[in-house]
Amino acid sequence: MKDQLDALEKQGVLPELDRSTDVAGPDADNNGIRDDIDVYIAALPVSDAVKKAARQRARVQQRIATIDLNDRAALMALADASMAATACMSESAEMGLPLEQQSQAGKVGFSITLKLQAITANTPERAERYLAYMGALHGTTTTYPTGRVCEDE
């Protein structure tokens, strides 16, 4: 996996990712998003609304690094925030497009969501933490949110 990530970085597909053993990684501006992920989002060739949704998703992914895995209420709140970020990405990607273009735009938004999840868990320590988070959620359910799903920045 490391070789694949190195190759993607060299090709410019991904920004140079932080590979420290620190699960949270650097966030110099304290915006809740790891600095290398911020760079990746800024370089995305998408609308400002989709970038805003991507930052919302990135903040959710970043919170996984520090959440108390034994705090059931916090886990459920983060799971709800994750669903809201997913809905926000879909809504933002499809916003203002004709119906026949919305499906493809939604796929692009979903692809960004998956890539953010993957590059946030880019080290063994981060991947292990993500798996522990998913394990802590085992047996829980969430619902797809309705109403306002996008955060204000």
Q: pLDDT tens digits for 94-151?
A: 989 899 999 998 899 999 999 999 999 999 999 999 999 999 999 988 888 989 999 9
The model's pTM is 0.89
State how far the alpha carbon of 106 is from the alpha carbons of 29, 56, 92, 113, in Å: 30, 16, 9, 11
User: Is residue 91 pLDDT above 90, yes or no?
Assistant: yes
pLDDT of residue 148: 92
Task: With both helix axes pointing from N to C terminus, report the angle between 35-43 and 48-63 in degrees, rounded to the nearest 10.
Answer: 160
Query: Tokens 């997913």 correspond to what residue?
Result: 86
Task: With both helix axes pointing from N to C terminus, report the angle between 48-63 and 99-120 in degrees, rounded to the nearest 10.
Answer: 30
What pLDDT digit, counting tens, does each position of 123-139 carry? 999 999 999 999 999 99
| Percentage of residues of the chain with pLDDT beyond 90 | 75
* Whole-angstrom distance, CA of residue 141 vs CA of residue 44: 32
